[in-house]
């Protein structure tokens, strides 16, 4: 799954990178978590969205790309309401049976990521559109940390994704071809209240353990 990510470019840098005007309430964030507002691009606009689809039974933050086009909950959005979400990197936790060690994963070229997502219109309970991020089986550069990863799109296929011209297999090809760098980070990232830039810094697990004593 994908449960935390970063988008920390300042507004000017991000607007230039996307060649789009940003919503006024965008703010850089080193620890973006479900349930909050995130920046997403639909076929019509770049806007803030609510990360997570609340249903009577569940709160969905991700959808499996392998089944999203056929699952009743997501298949209409797959055809009609695709979106992408810009990011600098994402966090994942390696569970070794003793502890969960957080890692930060990011592109080798440090360029922006574009996560594939699906969005759903707002309602009386909340005016913002809701969205979920699509995930797939981890590639070689991720699988030693976790079995799943976000579906990241190639910049030159973003318009095709939004218009539903990009097939599932083509989206998967984009995701599989992207190599990631990764390193361990402080367990401070476990708390969504921590949002400073030090969260993405490489940290020795042993040193992190020592810091927890103080």
pLDDT of 15-60, one tens digit each?
999 999 999 999 999 999 999 999 999 999 999 999 999 988 899 9
Q: Which domain holds residue 203?
A: 5-211
Beta carbons within 8 Å of 176's beta carbon, 6+ residues apart: 139
Residue 214 has pLDDT above 50, yes or no: no
Q: Give me the CATH number covering residue 196.
A: 3.90.1680.10
Count of the separate structural domains present in the chain: 1
What was the pLDDT predicted at 208?
Answer: 67
Q: Cα dist. 36→72, 74, 130, 206, 213 in Å?
A: 25, 20, 10, 32, 31
How much is the pLDDT for 209? 53
Residue 125 binned pLDDT confidence (cut-offs 50, 70, 90): low
Whether residue 96 is predicted with pLDDT greater than 90 in this model: the reply is no
Dist CA 146 CA 64 (whole Å): 15
Q: What is residue 203's predicted lDDT score, i.e. its pLDDT?
A: 92
Scan for tokens 């218009």, then name that residue.
163
Distance between CA atoms of 43 and 83, rounded to whole angstroms?
7
DSSP string spanning 44-55? S-EEEEEESEE-
Per residue in 167-185, pLDDT (tens digit) is 999 999 999 999 999 999 9
- What Rg do the C-alpha atoms of the chain give, in angstroms? 17
Q: Please say whether the beta carbons of 87 and 112 come within 8 A.
A: yes
Per-residue pLDDT reduced to its tens digit, 97-117: 888 999 999 998 889 999 999
Q: pTM for the complete prediction?
A: 0.93
Rounded Cα–Cα distance for residues 24 and 32 (Å) = 18
């Amino acid at each position: 799954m994908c449960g935390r990510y970063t988008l920390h470019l300042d507004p000017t840098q991000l607007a230039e990178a996307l060649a789009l005007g940003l919503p006024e309430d965008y703010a850089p964030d080193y620890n973006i978590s479900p349930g909050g507002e995130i920046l997403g691009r639909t076929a019509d606009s770049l806007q803030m969205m609510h990360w997570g689809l609340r249903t009577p039974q569940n709160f969905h933050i991700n959808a499996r790309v392998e089944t999203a086009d056929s699952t009743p909950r997501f298949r209409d959005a797959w055809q009609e309401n695709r979106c992408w979400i810009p990011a600098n990197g994402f966090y994942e936790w390696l569970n070794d049976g003793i502890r969960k060690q957080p890692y930060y994963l990011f592109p080798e070229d440090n360029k922006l990521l574009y996560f594939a997502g699906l969005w759903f219109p707002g309602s009386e309970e909340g005016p913002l559109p809701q969205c979920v991020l699509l995930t797939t089986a981890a590639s070689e550069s991720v699988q030693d940390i976790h079995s799943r990863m976000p579906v990241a799109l190639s910049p030159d296929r973003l318009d095709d994704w939004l218009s539903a011209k990009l097939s599932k297999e083509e989206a998967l090809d984009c995701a599989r071809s992207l190599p990631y760098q990764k390193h361990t980070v402080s367990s401070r990232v476990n708390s969504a209240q921590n949002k400073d830039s030090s969260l993405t810094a490489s940290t020795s697990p042993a040193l992190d353990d020592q810091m927890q004593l103080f």
